Amino acid sequence: MIIVFKPNATEQDIDHVTDRLRELGLKTQISRGEERTIIGVIGDERILENQPLSVFPGVESVTPILAPWKLVSREFQKDNTVIDVDGVLVGGRRLTVMAGPCAVEKLEITLGIAQEVKAAGGSILRGGAYKPRTSPYSFQGLGREGLDYLLEAKRQTGLPIVSEILDPRDTDLFLEKADIIQIGARNMQNFELLKEVGAYDKPVLLKRGLSATIKEFLLSAEYILSRGNRNIILCERGIRTFETQYRNTLDLSAVPVLKELSHLPVIVDPSHATGKWNLVSPMAKAAIAAGADGLLIEVHSDPECALCDGEESLKPRRFKDLMAELQKIAQAVGREL
């Protein structure tokens, strides 16, 4: 951390700051220029999190050097985290494609889609049983019954399942039935929910908030990791911008940036990022080319009748074609599918 003093700061002001830093166990290096005095703080400056040094008399600016997160960082762990999801590895050389309906609907529909996902080479089945809908009048999901349909699909296909939790009171239910607990964009900063899923080692799929910065996203992951759960998958799902032509703007730069800053696996959701089925395949390919460890894709056998997000759902045949096309991209970037 670098602390810059105002030109009129007194020796007393400077001593006041250095004394406080020493009390906290930090060393200081003072540099007195002609106009300004600067202090370089030596030691783990994160302990200054609760010290508003910028309000100390004479201080002009305080610039942190270290990132505000620790456990999620590459410095903390050099090697990529690889997560074992009931036998499916996420974050290794092999790409992970999670696919399935936006919402779990009837049992037969769920089972049919699961078979198609499996046949096309998908490795994890997705499906929302509890849906965070903008309107209270929209389909809210089947709840517990929906999780049971997913479990039946898992029994028939062997695909592990990922589903979104909305309420910390449902944790036991998700620990029992889901292989990955999804925290959706709307809950990325629901800190109590983050702490709750952080208390177990069940894999968590953390989606980037609607308007979250990379810093906020990584700090949310840090919440989970700091509670002990190391099994976190980050998911870029588009952010809100001024553009209205598509649902969100897929921030693909986030992929290499997150991979550089963190050891956690990063996947991309081109379905919610675009909101349009015809944009899903091009963006899925771009995501893999950009270094994503996998994809989250909405697939529905009858998008016209889907109870949620039919407009962005791929029909199984298109999903199959996409999986074939992705093979070439995967190979080009040294990955397997």
Residue ranges in contact with ligand PEP by CB under 6 A: 102, 128, 132, 164, 184-186, 207, 237, 269, 272
Least separation in angstroms between residue 270's CB and ligand PEP is 11
Number of other residues whose CB lies within 10 A of the CB of residue 15: 10
Binding segment (CB under 5 A) for Mn ion, from list 133-141, 202-210, 306-314, 318-326 = 306-314
Q: Which is nearer to Mn ion, 179 or 309 (CB)?
A: 309
**CA dist list (Å): 200 to 181, 206, 314:** 11, 15, 33
168 CB neighbour count, 10 Å cutoff: 14
Tracing tokens 């600067």 back to the chain, one arrives at 38
What is the C-alpha to C-alpha distance for residues 176 and 174, in angstroms, rounded to an integer? Answer: 5
One-letter amino acid at 168 equals P
259 binds, among Mn ion, ligand PEP, none (CB under 5 to 8 A by kind): none
Closest residue to Mn ion: CB criterion = 102
The tokens 């600016």 sit on which residue? 61
Smallest gap from Cβ 235 to ligand PEP, in A, equals 7
Residue 148 has phi, psi (to 5 degrees) of -65, -35
Pick from ligand PEP, Mn ion, none: which does 184 bind, CB < 5 to 8 A by kind? ligand PEP
Q: Residue 334 to residues 68, 141, 292: CA-CA distances in angstroms?
A: 32, 39, 12
Distance in Å, CB of 122 to Mn ion, minimum: 16
Tell me how far, at minimum, the Cβ of 95 lies from ligand PEP, in Å. 18
Q: Which of 309, 316, 322, 326 binds Mn ion (CB under 5 A)?
A: 309
Q: Measured at the alpha carbon of residue 202, what is the angle toward residues 201 and 203, in degrees to the nearest 5? A: 110
Structure tokens at 86: 């009931």
Output 272 or 285, the one with its CB closest to Mn ion.
272
Minimum separation from the CB atom of position 87 to Mn ion (A)? 26
207, interface contact from ligand PEP, Mn ion, none, CB < 5-8 Å by kind: ligand PEP
In whole angstroms, the minimum distance from the beta carbon of 101 to Mn ion comes to 8
Looking at the Cβ atoms of 93 and 240, the one nearer to ligand PEP is: 240
The helix or strand, by DSSP H or E, that contains position 102, with its residue range, turns out to be: none
Q: For 40, phi and psi rounded to 5 degrees?
A: -95, 125
- The answer to whether 193 and 165 have CB atoms below 8 angstroms apart is yes
Tokens of 231: 């099994």
Q: Is 102 in the site for Mn ion (CB under 5 A)?
A: yes
Total length of the chain: 337
CB nearer Mn ion, residue 102 or residue 125? 102
* Least separation in angstroms between CB 24 and Mn ion: 47
Q: Which is nearer to ligand PEP, 94 or 186 (CB)?
A: 186
- Residue 270 binding target from Mn ion, ligand PEP, none, CB below 5 to 8 Å by type: none
Binding site for Mn ion (CB under 5 A): 102, 309
